[in-house]
Structure 1
Amino acid sequence: MNRAVETLLRCLLVLCAAGLAVLPTGAIFSDPGWRSPALIMVGLIVVSGGLVRLIPAVARLRLAPLVQLVVALVALPYLCTPHLLAGGILPGPAAYGAVVDQISEGREQVFHTVAPTATTAGFTTMVVLGFAVLVIVLDWCATDLRVPKPAAFIVLLAWLVPVFLAGGLVSTWHFVGAGVAFVLVLLTGYVGRIRVPLTALGAGALALLLGVGLPILLPDVPDTHRNRLGTGDLKVANPFLDLRKDLARQDDTPLLNYTTDAKTPEPVRMTAVADFDGRTWSPEDFTLRNDNAVTAGLPEPESTPAGQTTASRTTFTVRALTGNYLPTVYSPVAVEGAGEDWIYDPKTLAIVGHTGLRADQTYTVDSRTATPEPQELAAAGTADRTRFASELSLPDSLPESVTRTATRVTKGADSAWEKAARIQAYLRSDDFTYSLDAPAQASDSAIADFLRDKRGYCVQFSATMAVLARVEGIPARIAVGYTPGQPDDDGSYTITDRNAHAWPELYFPGSGWVRFEPTPGTGETPPPWTGAQPGDTGQRDEATPTPTAQASESAGGDESAPAVTEEAGPADSTGPAEAAEPDTSAGLPAWLLPCLAAVLVLLVLVLAPRTIRSIRRARRLRDPVDPEAVWSELMALLADYGRPADPAGTVAGATGILCDLTGSDQAATRAVERIGAAVEVSRYGRDSTEKVMDRSTARVAVAGVRAGLRSAAGWPTRFRAEWLRL
């Protein structure tokens, strides 16, 4: 079998195997956002390796892994940080710096999430880089070293990652893909052989099925041991990342049922996220402590100055909801019937457990909900920046357009509460539209885009209000959970995926964490202490009282209360101060840049050998023409087409071979004979008078020999000679 054909066939086997080895990783994630970048990276690495191995010098020196490493490093920012490409085309320091940041971010997220988890930028970068390294090593072992068995174990290494991280989610098809990949890698060792040991391969596949695949087909053994509360790490998913997926399901399957004695049911809260690094919102770490068990009760919430709280008792029944967070009404003070494995975070009052939620589990939550008056919030002082450092933290990458918007919207406000009320009124104005078409992220760039496009859902609304509040010095975090749900005929309420929601919580000294509702279109009315009118749905006009005006009414018509200035209202939303940061992607599809990068890399790899070969030919045939240089070009032509001259042969013998190739082209035959004679004189004659000859003779000889070689060769040989030989 021709060497080039063997190389391409081995490349095809490795490409199929590597692609199949990627697929089981899908068990770790709840969405396929990671898959395309990973598969594109695998394809670029394998294809580039196969092409450069067709170059004899590269194959001989085994430089393909080095080329593949360069390809991977070039492709990484196109696949993982396309929004930071310089001019939207070339990667620069900012793009590579973001790649490093995302790897660090993904490493941290590993310790805060459980499978199946949503795809994040950090996870995507880790997966893409991880498979880049694995595939380079796999291809090196299978193709350069010709040791397919160690290469096949690399496939098993890729398979073990989802087995350990998401064992219960690995499906039969995941195993089939990994098994086929294993066999394909073993087949690379038999490329070019006449006989393939099918019996041995079949026995190996059967052993793989029995030893690795059979366990995933067996039913799970029920766990009869109760996982008592410990002090070790507990991995919990970040629910903020799943909101769009939940909302987009359009599934009416009941997740929770509950009954409550509250006159107006409150949102059902899971946790609060406050850690914002510019790309991802995530819960902060907290230490598991035995004395924070919910069976001992939870701390009383921070009271308002007037001590106004509303007590309620809610009984939950778990249906299809899963996870490690216990749904409650904020603020929970006691939990009954949930079990002994649940603990709480004193800072956020989120309740988490080792064993997680169980279907048909029933428990009761007693809560105290603060109901402050607007004038109490308006009179609140400034929060301690040291105590609330994380809830006031903003990334250095925050676009200036976001800061300008916060300053403009809150201009003239005399208190933190008035600033918060104005931000909520601004986001609930007619300028903004609720839409699930917005991006799933709430990164700083996504917030800037949201303020420009004014379209989004609760992720963008809540994150934007939290960021704008932080800009103005108000501690803010995002609560994640569900709207109160739909009432049933029996007086209970049902919660489905459609009720997934997020809302900001802002801290005011003396009143604690206070809920706001900036998202319109959800049917949720903002609480009265936020300055909203009863029944407000976000559709405001000039006749709607301003937040400060309502505070004045609540305070008994105190005319000294500050009025909302007209320039801070929503009517200025189209002003130049709110111009968003330029979109570097220019509205191009997300997949286009990686595809263009792949095409560019392939073009460089294909054109490089031909370019180098043309430069060498031009140097050999330049004036004044040296017969030895022309002879070297003729010998190189023979080697290009797989017909190298015998190194021990004579010049006369090689001249005869070249003349046979010129065929009926008499001019080319005479030119070859003259060049051969000049070389003999140059090498063996005493008087080397023909060391220099005219350029036209050299060109005629080279053209004639090349035409003869092309006419006698098939298209694969011609392609290799013209495009892949140096």
Structure 2
Amino acid sequence: MTGHARISIAAWGATVLGSLVLTPVFSGPFLFISAFLCAIITGVGVLLQNLRAPRIVVPLVQLVVLVELLSLFFLKETMKFGLLPTGRTAIEFNSEMVSALNSINQYAAPLPPDSNLLLFATAVISATGLLIHVIAVQLRQAAWAGLLLLIMYTVPAATVHGGLPALLFIPPAIGYIVLLSAEGRTRLSRWGRRISGVSHLDAAEPVEASALGQAGRRIGLSVVALAALIPALIPALPEGVIGNGLAGGGVGGTGVGASISTTTPMLDMGKNLDRGVNDVALTYKGSPSGGVYLKLTALDQFDGNTWTISQRGPGQKIGNEPLSPPGLNRDASQVPKIKLEVDVSRVFRSAFAPVPYPTQTISLRRDWVYDKASSDVYSTGGQVVGGKKYTVTSYDVQPTEEQLSNAITRGAPDQFTSQVPRKVPQEIKDLTAQVTGNNTNKYAMAVALQQWFRSTGKYTYDLESKRGSGMNALRDFLIDNKSGYCEQFATGMALMARIAGIPSRVAIGFLPGQAGKDGQYTVRMHDMHAWPELYFEDTGWVRFEPTPAARVASAPGWTTPSTTPTNPTTAPTTAPTTPGESEDPGIQKPNNGRDLADDGGLALDSGNWFTNGGARTIGIIALVVLVLLIPWILRSLNRRRRFSRPPSRLGAEGLWSEIRDTSRDLGLDWSDVSTPRQSGEWLITKLPEEAHPSALRLARTIEAMRYAGAADVATDLRPDVTVISKALWKQATARRRWRARLLPPSWRWYLSRGTTEASDLLDEFDLLLARLRNTVLRRRHAG
């Protein structure tokens, strides 16, 4: 096999093994398709090189082949005559890639097996394989191909919640080793006859280990060891440091705590629910008994893959004048009000302010604006709501069954909330017709949908269910699985409401939280919730609650027909509970599906620096300092061990080594090849006169012990070594002394010694493999 063919095949293997790290992120047959495409590209490259094509032509032809293959596999309908890519192909490819990036931002890993995500993964892996081939074969710099493998690894490292399995490091490491070995073997073959490796002449016949095998095993051991050990030694970074930035959308943050971004609020909600630490998000006072829902934002646009926030206008500047709720056409002055005092924890990094709906006034000013369409309050100047205190007044709208039943539909309130994606499966449309039955009244259909999710449909609430609100995930939830958490229930009901002709959107915010003393409620990150809002004329956006009682005890009173309407001054009928607990709204200690510490109902101090990330910061700083002090610690322990030994031959050698290491730490050129007498004479030149007798006595004792064997091993040399050490330290400059304390150069000698010992063990392993090889060859010849 020619050298370039060997490296090409190794490059293909490295690409396939490296792409295994993407399996926690993408689903579907992306790995097999990518391996096939990369194999074809590799074959084209080998063929062209065998035909001695110009070096610059090979990658160009490979790129053309890659474009053709991707078009045939994924965009065939856009190709002319079914074979030639056109401008439409490029436009469709760009559209699919943009859609895939939106899905990556929206969904948590693993991503659904959508066609656009399959194209994205295949294109990225195939392009990476092409670049690895160019770097390793055309440019003959295989070592640099490892950067591309590292870039592939950063994708799951930044997006997979909870970290990656340690074994996932090994396939890319093996692929990189194979690639380096192939290139090394090709390079050495150009030099002529190879140099022999380690031999063992005591065997029955000479046994020789391959020099290439030795080098490959040493490189392999180093790469795998680094891949396995470094992630275990480096402290885990807070979620959001890599990948999803805090508060997203340009909103800054410190990297501590939880976040809700302006671009991916649904994904951020899922991450916050998954977080092991149930931080306090905020506290508030002034609500009716039972608390209130606090809304962050509303997702009104659904393209069949992702629920997003539609394009916003400039927003309404917040001032002293009341904010007008959309759709509320009755006399607002006659609607009861609720005034809350909200204190947001610093750990909650959000561009949205948690407010009850619909908001009338809020004390936030400057860069905070109100968006009338989505009814949320958000920052336009890069601020986050974490650490802020504000008062907010809201309308306590409690619509009656009669008001909602008699609502006259005059059209959608906007251009987004009535849109039904074209690729909605017929099964979901049929299910909607089945649930709503023969009802023509929008309120009756909405109530039927809510009841279907909460009871008659036999759905179950499960926080560990597969994430996702795209069309495939919704179909699986609605038709097959029937198990999910609030995201699936909210998006499922919102989509079915649109199919039934009711404008809808998905709100994201918080459940009322946990009641404490003096009417204060504590809301934690695990209280994050999603619910659908349906539009009814003269009332506006109305909250429904399809999530089962395992999460939310009861639905709003106005969504339960044929009952006495809830009095505006009475408690709302919603209160979060957990599986196995009573559905009594008066429960004071829900844990929202988590095993949380009991805080006795007291609100925690959300502004404490130590609890809001200070302890973690101190821990990271302490760990960094400890790592930096490792050379000093090792050197100090070694010095103490040497001086603690009683007079003996071993003790004398240890003290001699101590003088050697002290000399090196202080920048003196100690020679390893000199005899003890020569070293003693050299040492005298570096010491003041009063230390000369100690240096001579130490050198002569070591000389006699090594060569004459007649030295008095009971002689205690520690006083002499102490005199010599103090003299050497006194002679050195202040800069040298500080360097010797903080970063003693002598500690590197122990690393070198450990490397030598490891190399000796590898030599023995090489010889063992060589013996096994010779044994197998002898048996073959004998047979």
Aligned partner (choices 513, 523, 538) of residue 552 of structure 2:
523
How far did 1:480 drift? 1.0
For 1:193 and 1:115, the matched residues in 2 are separated by 46
- CA displacement at 1:418 relative to structure 2: 1.7
Contact 2:352 2:376 in 1 (8 A): yes
What is residue 481 of structure 1 aligned with on the other side? 509
Q: What pairs with 1:28-47 in structure 2 (closer than 5 Å)?
A: 32-34=24-26, 43-47=35-39
1:529 positional shift: 1.1
CA distance in 1, matches of 2:366, 2:391: 14
Report the CA distance between 1:393 and its aligned residue.
0.5
Matched residue SS, 1:409: helix
Distance change in 2, residues 1:259/1:430 (3 Å): same
Deviations 1:110-154 (A, max 9, x none): 9xx699999676984575255246325414423553364998699
Q: Does 1:301 align with 2:294?
A: no
Distance 1:51 1:107 in 2: 31
Q: Which residue of 2 aligns with 1:371?
A: 398
- What is the CA-CA distance between 1:263 and the residue it aligns to? 2.9
Write out per-residue CA displacement over residues 300-339 of structure 1, whole angstroms, 9 at most, x where no aligned residue.
22436464344232413224222322222212233325x6
Structure 2 unaligned regions, length at least 5: 76-89, 192-214, 220-235, 242-249, 253-259, 568-783
Asked if the contact 2:295–2:510 (Cα under 8 Å) also holds between the matched residues in 1, the reply is yes
Q: 1:156 to 1:516 in 2, by over 3 A?
A: same
Give the drift of 1:55: 5.6
Deviations 1:510-546 (A, max 9, x none): 111111111112124211111x2xxxxxxxxxxxxxx
Residue identity opposite 1:523 in structure 2: V
Deviation at 1:507, TM superposition (A): 0.8
Q: 2:366 aligns with which of 305, 316, 340?
A: 340
Post-superposition CA distance 1:586-623 (Å, at most 9, x none): xxxxxxxxxxxxxxxxxxxxxxxxxxxxxxxxxxxxxx
Give how far 1:236 is off: 2.1
Match of 2:710 in 1: none
Which residue does the alignment assign to 1:492? 520
1:477 maps to a residue whose letter is: R
**Other-structure match for 2:536:** 508
Partner of 1:384: 411
Counterpart code for 2:533: E
Q: Secondary structure at the match of 2:444?
A: helix
Q: TM-score by structure 2 length? A: 0.50
Matches of 1:188 and 1:127, distance apart in 2: 30
Matches within 5 A, 1:423-462: 423-436=449-462, 438-453=465-480, 454-462=482-490
Question: SS of the counterpart of 1:322?
Answer: strand
CA shift for structure 1 position 44? 4.7
Length-normalised TM-score, structure 1: 0.54
8 Å CA contact retained: 1:114, 1:235: no
Distance 2:486 2:325 in 1: 26
**1:429 aligned counterpart, secondary structure:** helix
Q: Is the 8 A contact 2:284 2:522 kept in 1?
A: yes
CA 1:460–1:426 in structure 2 vs 1: closer, same or farther (change >3 Å)? same
Which stretches in structure 1 are left out of the alignment for 5+ residues? Answer: 78-95, 202-216, 221-226, 533-546, 555-726
Q: 2:343 & 2:552 partners in 1: Cα distance?
A: 22
Distance 1:157 1:433, change over 3 A: closer
Residue type at the aligned position of 2:186: G
Aligned to 1:330: 357
Whole-Å separation in 2 of the counterparts to 1:32 and 1:39: 12
Structure 2 matches for 1:162-201, cutoff 5 A?
A: 192-194=186-188
One of 112, 127, 136 as aligned partner of 1:134: 127
Q: What are the within-5 Å matches in structure 2 for residues 603-682 of structure 1?
A: none
Alignment of 1:565-580 (within 5 A): none
Q: Distance in 2 between matches of 1:52 and 1:130?
A: 18
Deviation at 1:276, TM superposition (A): 1.0
Give the superposition deviation at 1:419. Answer: 1.7
Cα 1:141–1:253 shift into 2, 3 Å: same
Report the CA distance between 1:502 and its aligned residue. 0.9
1:12 equivalent in structure 2: 10
Q: How does 1:384-403 map to 2 (within 5 A)?
A: 384-385=411-412, 387-403=413-429
Contact 2:287 2:338 in 1 (8 A): no
Distance 1:143 1:331 in 2: 61
Query: Offset of 1:34 from its aligned partner?
Result: 4.0
Say how many residue pairs are matched: 478
CA distance in structure 2 between the aligned counterparts of 1:323 and 1:180, rounded to whole angstroms: 42
TM-aligned CA distance change 1:35 to 1:272, over 3 Å: same
Q: Which amino acid aligns with 2:368?
A: W
Mapped partners of 2:447, 2:522: distance in 1: 31
Change (3 A) 1:443 1:228: closer
Q: Give the equivalent residue in structure 2 for 1:472.
A: 500
SS at match of 1:396: coil
Question: Are 1:350 and 2:376 matched, yes or no?
Answer: yes
Per the TM alignment, residue 73 of structure 1 is displaced from its structure 2 partner at its CA by 5.5
Q: 2:345 aligns with which of 318, 332, 343?
A: 318
Between the aligned partners of 1:116 and 1:356, the Cα distance in structure 2 is 25
**Residue number in structure 2 paired with 1:272:** 298
In the aligned structure 1, how far is the partner of 2:515 from the partner of 2:190?
A: 67
1:274–1:427 CA distance, 2 compared to 1 (3 A): same
Q: CA RMSD in A?
A: 5.2
Q: In 2, distance between residues paired with 1:116 and 1:459?
A: 12
Give the drift of 1:358. 5.8
Q: Secondary structure at the match of 2:384?
A: coil
Distance of 1:392 and 1:451 partners within structure 2: 20
Verify: 1:105 aligned to 2:104, yes or no: no
Q: Distance in 2 between matches of 1:406 and 1:16?
A: 49
**Distance in 2 (alpha carbons) for counterparts of 1:114 and 1:553:** 37
